[in-house]
Amino acid sequence: MLQIGYIRENRDEVIAGLQKKNFKELNLVDEVVALDESRRALQSSSESIAAEANSIAKQIGDLMRQGKKEEAEAIKITTSGHKAQLKELSDKLLRIEQELHNKLVQLPNLPHHSVPAGVSAEDNEVVLEHGVIPDLGANALPHWELADKYKLIDFELGTKIAGAGFPVYTGKGARLQRGLVNFFLDEAIKVGYSETQVPHAVNEASAYGTGQLPDKEGQMYHITQDDLYMIPTAEVPLTNLYRDEILKEEQFPIMHCAYTPCFRREAGSYGAHVRGLNRLHQFDKVETVQIVHAEKSYETLEEMSSYVQSLLQKLELPYRVLRLCGGDMSFGSALTYDMETYSAAQQRWLEVSSVSNFETFQSNRLKVRYRDADGKMTLAHTLNGSALALPRIVATLLENNQTEKGIKIPAALVPYVGFEYID
């Protein structure tokens, strides 16, 4: 959530940032500023009346101690309206604060100055490309056919049990999933992340804190009877570990990783581009989250990007890094890098990771703060990144490594799966 003081003092800059994100409800900015002015005026009036009432109460007390009861009672009559005034102002202030909050949460985060302008994925900026795209020839099979050929994934059985988008992994397919999870966790631990097991469902306050609510309410599975939400990513519970906490500078950087299944409704996802593992309602992912000093977050973002790239290099996958344009960024992100691997059988790039800096957008909602060197209370910066999401990694591993002998497993993964080929 944007900070009201920043909006008030930097109105034009805020509007320019929202325009870069293609946010249409720009009138909200002036509405927020006007409500904030009303709120501050009511607070000032309330404080003045309270101060006057306190002063008179002290005067009455002094008169009573001096035995001047009649004078005290006369003054008391003149203050009879203070209590009613304060109650009226308090009720108005509560209503305005609620209206102000409701409008503030509708405003997305502002983009970093390096974010390119644009409206869709076609406008994203390619930062770098790495690796050689394999030439598989005309007979290359897409991963859904390879999965059927080698009995790795049963999409129809998953549909029978739960519905489309809930695959069943079998045999070496299940072992590949488990091996990738363990590989990603071990690599994260090596660079300093603390492995954490978290709930797979969160309450409304947690989903609000990281920005899933109210922006992505329709994309989450909602357990209505208990008012819980199935997590779309481990980012939500991991970041909420520090909700309402005052941290110490020496705790930074706080680094967590977690393996969880992820649940996304993905309403309206149909067509060939989402076939097989390309888009699922349930999938496995290892997530990394960092909470850092405000001055270190962009340095941390680059480190997180490099770390994800190192995983793709160890898996011997060709990849590219994109800096997302304003129109393709998430609601809460200030800057996002997407990592895509090339699917040689589908002949297109597939997103496998997003690494984002949220600056203070989440920490302002979560009230994650620390005291700086001068003792000033400051909002921490939060970041997260997929390291990595499994479905499209599996898709490109299967497709790019298909040979006449079978599907070759990258050397770094062999100790985790126990075989060199799927045949």
Q: Is 125 one of the annotated binding-site residues?
A: no
Paired tokens of 208: 């609000």
Q: Is 352 one of the annotated binding-site residues?
A: yes
Q: Is 279 one of the annotated binding-site residues?
A: no
Q: Is 115 one of the annotated binding-site residues?
A: no
Task: Count the neighbouring beta carbons within 10 Å of the beta carbon of residue 339.
Answer: 28
Q: Is 264 one of the annotated binding-site residues?
A: yes
User: Do residues 167 and 155 make contact, with C-beta atoms less than 8 angstroms apart?
Assistant: yes
Q: Is 8 one of the annotated binding-site residues?
A: no
Phi-psi region at 406: left, alpha or beta (left = phi > 0; alpha = psi -120 to 50): left
- In Å, how far from its chain's centre is CA 389? 15
Selection from 322, 313, 297 nearest residue 384 by Cα: 297
Q: Is 369 one of the annotated binding-site residues?
A: no
Paired tokens of 154: 């049963």
Cα atoms in the 13 Å half-sphere on the side-chain side of 278 = 19
DSSP string, 192-205: TPEE----SEEEHH
Contacts 24+ apart (CB under 8 A), 157-164: 162/281, 162/282, 163/281, 164/281
How many residues does the structure list for the chain? 423
Strands 369-371, 246-247: pairing is: parallel
Longest dimension (CA), the chain: 107
Task: Count the neighbouring beta carbons within 10 Å of the beta carbon of residue 67.
Answer: 9
Phi-psi region at 109: left, alpha or beta (left = phi > 0; alpha = psi -120 to 50): beta
- Hey, CA dihedral for 328, 333, 337, 340, is it positive or negative? negative
User: Measured between alpha carbons, how far is 313 from 95 in angstroms, rounded to an integer?
Assistant: 54
DSSP string, 36-96: HHHHHHHHHHHHHHHHHHHHHHHHHHHHHHTT-HHHHHHHHHHTHHHHHHHHHHHHHHHHH
Q: How far is the CA of 265 from the CAs of 166, 233, 259, 319, in angstroms?
A: 11, 13, 20, 27
Q: Is 97 one of the annotated binding-site residues?
A: no
Q: Is 235 one of the annotated binding-site residues?
A: no
- Hey, CA dihedral for 409, 415, 416, 418, is it positive or negative? positive
User: Measured between alpha carbons, how far is 184 from 193 in angstroms, rounded to an integer?
Assistant: 11
Q: Is 126 one of the annotated binding-site residues?
A: no
User: Do residues 304 and 355 make contact, with C-beta atoms less than 8 angstroms apart?
Assistant: yes
Mark the binding-site residues, compressed into ranges. Answer: 233, 264-266, 287, 351-354, 384
Mark the binding-site residues for ATP, compressed into ranges. Answer: 264-266, 351-354
Mark the binding-site residues for L-serine, compressed into ranges. Answer: 233, 264, 287, 384
